[in-house]
Structure 1
Amino acid sequence: MTSHDARPSGCTPFEEELVNVLKSYADSADTPAFDAPGIVRRTRRRRTVGIGAVAAALVVAGASTALASMSDGEGVRGTVASSGVSQSGKDTVVVVGKRGDSFTIDFAGLDLVLAKQLLAKARLELGTVGRADLKGCKPGSVIAADPHTPALVPIGGTVNLTLCSR
């Protein structure tokens, strides 16, 4: 047999040597250690943090949209849908400011808490809060404001509100 002839294994000497070297290399390497539970934990933590960040961004965007919808660029505008009779009209609209530089607030159907927030945002004071019986209105909602349109209320002025007692 010459060195170029095929061996009983069917490989040349070079191929046999190569196979032997690769086998010894494969047998000498240690098996890598994976911390599978740790990897899963980190992945879940990152996913949770990502979801929390997206949720926080959505809440902030929603809150800023809600605040922006209350403002018309010139001042405060309080328009909220309410169940019951809509009282939107002259009796619930307050004009704030001075001639040429004013804005309106419509208190129709708002509850006292939201009405106080709008008054504070417009830098107005809450005067007396009265109650009146009006058929079909939502209990606790604003049905009248004094002074109302067309009178102007200066910044820092007082607004009296009448709530539905039904």
Structure 2
Amino acid sequence: MSSHDSPTSGCTSFEMELVNAMNDFVNTTPTPHFDTATIARGARRKRATAIAGIATALVVAGAGTALAVGAVGSGSDTARPAAAAAADSTTLLVRTSDGGTATERLAGVSSARARVALVHFGLTPKFTRVQKADCTKPEDAVVSLSPHAPTVVHAGDTVLVTTCYR
């Protein structure tokens, strides 16, 4: 037993040895030291890395979207704004075999020419007619498509073509 022992009534010698061993451990074990500044720096570094990763992912997703929108081709060399194509109910966006998209504007074309264009893309045309006083020449001119831009159609899809008559 050590010198700092005090006789305790009702304790066995084993219990006293155990108490003395615990006291020795408490008195001789060094206090742990935590470098809070280093821990805080590490947490800030992890947070900054996570934010940078998320920002990079958002930029890449935005660039992919911009490239996808820019890949929408048109039949002419002059580019039209995407909003103009989306607002026109006679414009068709077709997924091509190479994975791109082609734009086909059928406003005012005859039903025969519209059929040829749709079959060329592997689409199934279904025609309906509506009576309109302001029907343009030719009398069976295309006035609307369903689905139309900005919806993309694929080979094998059916496209409802509405033509007019007087």
Q: Which bracket does the TM-score occupy, shorter chain normalised?
A: 0.3 to 0.5
Using structure 1 for the length normalisation, give the TM-score.
0.43
